[in-house]
């Protein structure tokens, strides 16, 4: 029986080199989605590779979010891609007739090659994730390469999203117990949200959460707190440095009740943390694009891999523990003595959490 295989990436340069090599080897289809596709050194490398691949007769489809790439992508690059045979589609461009649609964004990051391999995770296509072009302060992220049935499932999910066929975009089992979950349809959104809550509620020993934006709904907060109360070792890794300060203020508003229930919170020190992963009991994990915030649970379109693969779960558990070594723990007593100005900013962030 054919099984899935996994490879973990935590460095942008290594990931980008692997993705570009896969694109160059494509024979039939290259299917690429990204929230940010920048007109910088990294974006131009991808554009050149996509253009060369399309010139070989390979079908190349590129699906980009209009809001996500608004200040990153140049019109000249779009024209170059389209003029060279790349089928480029913008998701939810601004339209005065449907103004609220612009707020629902395609936050997915996915690359599928011929249905044989697929890449899913949190990396955008921009220089900020590259040591080669951005240096020591590159963003810290996680991506997974999958092969086997999951890659074919990824191709199916890309196709339904590209064509707007919401009703058929739910989850399909691939036989291995691993699943790619999107939230394009209403039922799929319930399934994705329910998968997160199921992981938390069934934890027995450990819950390790890595997220750049921790602004959870009340139900998720209760489940995390309940797990810690019943003796589960719950650790939350969040960024010290954030690209959205208002979201960081909102996240810190949730620290006090979490700390009071025994949740341990760590702020990652060296770089901007953009990774999104959960590992439960070192045996059940998820990696993808969904953050612990209102936008991911109710507005944006997301894509996450859920897996019980021993290798992948072990690697994610290891990476989390390594990241803790570069983090500072938030201690409850010291946190309670923070200045009132910080508390005011947290209140402002929390009140604005649904618009972040």
Predicted confidence at residue 5, as pLDDT, reads 87
- Give Cα 270 to chain centroid, integer Å: 20
3-state secondary structure of 312: helix
* Residue 175 pLDDT: 53
The 3-class secondary structure across 92-117, one letter per residue, is CCCCCCCHHHHHCCECCCEEEECCCE
Q: Which of 350, 353, 332 is nearest to 256 (CA)?
A: 332
Backbone angles phi, psi at 153, to 5 degrees: -65, -40
pLDDT (0 to 100) of residue 42: 97
CATH number of 182-355: 3.30.870.10
pLDDT at 339 > cutoff 90: no
Sheet holding 29-34, edge to edge: 5-9, 143-147, 117-121, 110-113, 29-34, 59-65, 87-91
For tokens 């596709």, the residue is 37
How would residue 292 be classed by pLDDT, with cut points 50, 70 and 90?
Answer: confident
- Asked if pLDDT for residue 334 goes beyond 80, the answer is no
Q: Which of 141, 290, 140, 327 is nearest to 215 (CA)?
A: 290
> What kind and span of H or E run contains 14?
helix 12-25
Q: Has residue 166 got a pLDDT over 80?
A: no
Q: What is the pLDDT of residues 99-115, one digit of tens each?
A: 666 778 899 999 999 99
Domain 5-167 bears CATH identifier 3.30.870.10: yes
- Beta-bridged to residue 121, according to DSSP, are 143
Q: Please provide the distance, in angstroms rounded to a whole number, between the alpha carbons at the two ends of the chain.
A: 44
Q: pLDDT by residue (tens digit) across 113-149?
A: 999 999 999 999 999 999 999 999 999 999 999 999 9
Backbone angles phi, psi at 266, to 5 degrees: -125, 135
CA dihedral 326, 329, 334, 340 (to 10 degrees): 80
Task: Reply yes or no on whether the pLDDT at 239 is more than 70.
Answer: yes
The per-residue pLDDT for range 42-68, each reduced to its tens digit, is 999 999 999 999 999 999 999 999 888
| Statement: residue 291 has pLDDT above 80 | yes
Whole-angstrom Cα distance, residue 112 to residue 114? 7
pLDDT for position 344:
83
What residues have CB less than 8 Å from 287, skipping those under 6 apart? 120, 121, 122, 142, 143, 144, 276, 277, 304, 305, 307, 316
Q: What is the mean pLDDT of residues 277-292?
A: 95
**3 pLDDT more than 60:** no
Q: What is the DSSP letter of 291?
A: -
Whole-angstrom CA distances from 283 to 182, 198, 203, 308 are 22, 14, 10, 6
Quickly state the pLDDT bin for 1 (edges 50, 70, 90).
Answer: very low
Domain(s) labelled CATH 3.30.870.10 in the chain stretch across 5-167, 182-355
Residue 253 has pLDDT above 60, yes or no: yes
pLDDT cut 90: percent of the chain above it: 66
Span 183-202, average pLDDT: 88
> Cα–Cα distance between 211 and 251 in angstroms, integer?
10
Q: What is the pTM of this model?
A: 0.92
């Amino acid at each position: 029986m054919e099984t899935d295989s996994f490879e973990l990436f935590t460095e942008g340069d290594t990931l980008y080199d692997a993705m570009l090599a896969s694109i160059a080897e494509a024979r039939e289809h290259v299917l690429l989605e990204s929230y940010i596709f920048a007109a910088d050194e990294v974006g131009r490398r991808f554009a050149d590779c996509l253009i060369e691949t399309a010139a070989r007769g390979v079908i190349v489809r590129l699906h980009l979010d209009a809001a996500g790439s608004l200040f990153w992508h140049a019109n000249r690059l779009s024209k170059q891609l389209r003029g060279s045979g790349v089928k480029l589609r913008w998701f939810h461009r601004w339209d005065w007739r449907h103004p609220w649609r612009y707020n629902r964004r395609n936050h997915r990051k996915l690359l599928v090659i011929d249905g044989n391999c697929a890449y899913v995770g949190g990396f955008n296509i921009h220089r900020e994730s590259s040591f080669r072009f951005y240096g020591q302060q590159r963003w810290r992220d996680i991506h997974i390469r999958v092969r086997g049935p999951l890659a074919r499932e990824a191709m199916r999910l890309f196709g339904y999203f590209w064509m707007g066929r919401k009703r058929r975009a739910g989850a399909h089992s691939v036989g291995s117990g691993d699943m790619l979950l999107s939230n394009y349809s209403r039922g799929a959104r319930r399934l994705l949200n329910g998968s997160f809550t199921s992981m938390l509620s069934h934890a027995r020993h450990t819950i390790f959460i890595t997220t750049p934006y921790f602004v959870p709904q009340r139900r998720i907060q209760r489940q995390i707190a309940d797990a810690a109360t019943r003796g589960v070792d719950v650790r939350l890794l969040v960024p010290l440095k954030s690209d959205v300060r208002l979201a960081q203020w909102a996240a810190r508003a949730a620290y006090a009740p979490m700390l009071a229930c025994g949740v341990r919170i760590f702020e990652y020190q060296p770089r901007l943390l953009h990774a999104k992963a959960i590992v439960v009991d070192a045996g059940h994990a998820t990696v993808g694009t969904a953050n612990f915030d209102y936008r991911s649970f109710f507005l944006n379109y997301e894509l996450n891999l859920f897996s019980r693969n021993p290798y992948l779960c072990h690697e994610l558990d290891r990476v989390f523990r390594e990241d803790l070594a570069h983090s500072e723990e938030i201690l409850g007593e010291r946190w309670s003595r923070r200045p009132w100005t910080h508390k005011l900013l947290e209140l402002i962030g929390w009140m604005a959490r649904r618009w972040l």
